C-alpha cells in the first residue's frame, strides 16, 4: 500500500512528502505531535532519508519494536534527529529491559519521507517490489496488488536500507492496538479491572474484559484478558497478551482471521 501511495504522490509532485500513520495510537498533546510532523517533513525535504518517529520508552515493553540510535543529524527547532543504527524486533522481557537501559527507543510506526526517496529505496533494496513497479507505470494497479508479496514496510524496506533516520518524539505516545493497552488507557474500577461492554466481576482484580457481543461473568480470577466477540471467546493471562500473535500459528485457519485473537489490531502496510 505504501509503495502504491508513494507512486501516486510522486506522480503528482516529485517533491511530495508522505506521512504514514496508524489509527490506533493515543497521542498527547496534539499540538506537539503536529509541530513535530511539520519539522520532520521539513527535514525530509532537506535530507535524502526515510524518517521514523522514535519514542523514548517509559517501561520495558515486549510488544514493541525498538530503534538503536546512531549518528546524530542535528537539532533544530527542538527536534532531535539521528541515523538509525539498527531495528530490533519485539524482544523478550529481559532483552527489553536491556534495550531500555542501553538507550534504545520504541519504533512508533509513524513514517515521514519524500515519496521519491522512498521509491528510490524500494528500487535499491526491495527487488521483489521494484520488479513490479512497471505495473503501476502501466496503470495495472490491481495486478500490482495481486502480485506484491505480503510484508511490512519495516521488513521489506527499512531494515534493509542504510538511509533510515529518526526524530525523537516530543509528545506522549501509546499504542492502543493491544488488549493490555486498555489497562493503560481506560479507567479501571476499584479492583483494577477494565471492562468494555458487558461484564460482571466478583472477587476479581486486574482483569481486562472486552465483551460487546454478550456478557462475561468472572469469579475469583486475577490478571486475565477475557474477550468475547461473536462466536469466539479468548481467555489468556495479561502477561501473555503481547505475544498473542504467536498463538495464531497454533490455530486452524478459520480462527486466525478472528480479530479477538489477534490482540494487536495494527496493520502496518
Tens-digit pLDDT profile for residues 41-81: 999 998 899 999 999 998 888 888 899 999 998 665 568 89
pTM of the model: 0.78
Q: Per-residue pLDDT for 269 more than 60?
A: no
**pLDDT higher for 178 or 142?**
142
Q: Please, which pLDDT band fits residue 7 given cuts at 50, 70 and 90? A: very high
Cβ proximity of 260 and 232 under 8 Å: yes
pLDDT of residue 267: 36
**Percent of the chain beyond pLDDT 90?**
63
**pLDDT higher for 151 or 118?**
118
Distance of alpha carbon 139 from alpha carbon 191, whole angstroms: 58
Q: Per-residue pLDDT for 33 more than 70?
A: yes
Strands (E), 169-223: 172-175, 194-202, 208-219
Distance of alpha carbon 51 from alpha carbon 82, whole angstroms: 9
The predicted-structure confidence for 242-259, as pLDDT tens digits, reads as follows 777 777 777 777 676 666
Please compute the mean of the pLDDT values over residues 197-211 and round it to a whole number: 94
pLDDT of residue 75: 64
pLDDT of residue 257: 63
pLDDT of residue 99: 94
Please compute the mean of the pLDDT values over residues 147-171 and round it to a whole number: 92
Q: Per-residue pLDDT for 263 more than 50?
A: no
Q: Per-residue pLDDT for 124 more than 90?
A: yes
Please compute the mean of the pLDDT values over residues 87-97 and round it to a whole number: 88
Q: Per-residue pLDDT for 1 more than 90?
A: no
Q: Per-residue pLDDT for 131 more than 90?
A: yes
In the predicted model, what is the mean pLDDT of the chain?
88
Q: Please, which pLDDT band fits residue 198 given cuts at 50, 70 and 90? A: very high
Least confident of 16-20, 71-75, 113-117, 199-203: 71-75
Domains, the chain, in order of start with CATH, read: 2-175 (3.90.550.10), 179-262 (no CATH)
139 Rama sector, left if φ>0, alpha if ψ -120 to 50, beta otherwise: left
Give me the phi and psi of 57, to 5 degrees please: -75, 145
Burial class (CB in 10 A: 0-12, 13-18, 19+), 62: middle
Amino acid at each position: 500500500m505504501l509503495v502504491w501511495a508513494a507512486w501516486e504522490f510522486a506522480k503528482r509532485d516529485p517533491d511530495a512528502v508522505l506521512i504514514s500513520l496508524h489509527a490506533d495510537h493515543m497521542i498527547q498533546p496534539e499540538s506537539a505531535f503536529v509541530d513535530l510532523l511539520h519539522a520532520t517533513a521539513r527535514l525530509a525535504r532537506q535530507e535524502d532519508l526515510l524518517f521514523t518517529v522514535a519514542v523514548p520508552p517509559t517501561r520495558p515493553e515486549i510488544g514493541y519494536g525498538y530503534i538503536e540510535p546512531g549518528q546524530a543529524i542535528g537539532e533544530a527547532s527542538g527536534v532531535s534527529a539521528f541515523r538509525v543504527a539498527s531495528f530490533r524486533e519485539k524482544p523478550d522481557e529481559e532483552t527489553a529491559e536491556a534495550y531500555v537501559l542501553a538507550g534504545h527507543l520504541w519504533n512508533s510506526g509513524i513514517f515521514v519521507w519524500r515519496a521519491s526517496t522512498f521509491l528510490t529505496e524500494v528500487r535499491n533494496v526491495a527487488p521483489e517490489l521494484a520488479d513490479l513497479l512497471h505495473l503501476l507505470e502501466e496503470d495495472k494497479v490491481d495486478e500490482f496488488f495481486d502480485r506484491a508479496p505480503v510484508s511490512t514496510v519495516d521488513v521489506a524496506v527499512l531494515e534493509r536500507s542504510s538511509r533510515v533516520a529518526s526524530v525523537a518524539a516530543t509528545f506522549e505516545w501509546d499504542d492502543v492496538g493491544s488488549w493490555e493497552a486498555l489497562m493503560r488507557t481506560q479507567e479501571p474500577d476499584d479492583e483494577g479491572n477494565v471492562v468494555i461492554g458487558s461484564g460482571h466481576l466478583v472477587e476479581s482484580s486486574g482483569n481486562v474484559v472486552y465483551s460487546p457481543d454478550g456478557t462475561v461473568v468472572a469469579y475469583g480470577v486475577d490478571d486475565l484478558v477475557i474477550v468475547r466477540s461473536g462466536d469466539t471467546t479468548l481467555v489468556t493471562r495479561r502477561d501473555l497478551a503481547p505475544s498473542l500473535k504467536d498463538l495464531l500459528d497454533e490455530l486452524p485457519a478459520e480462527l486466525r482471521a478472528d480479530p479477538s485473537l489477534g490482540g494487536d489490531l495494527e496493520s502496518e502496510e
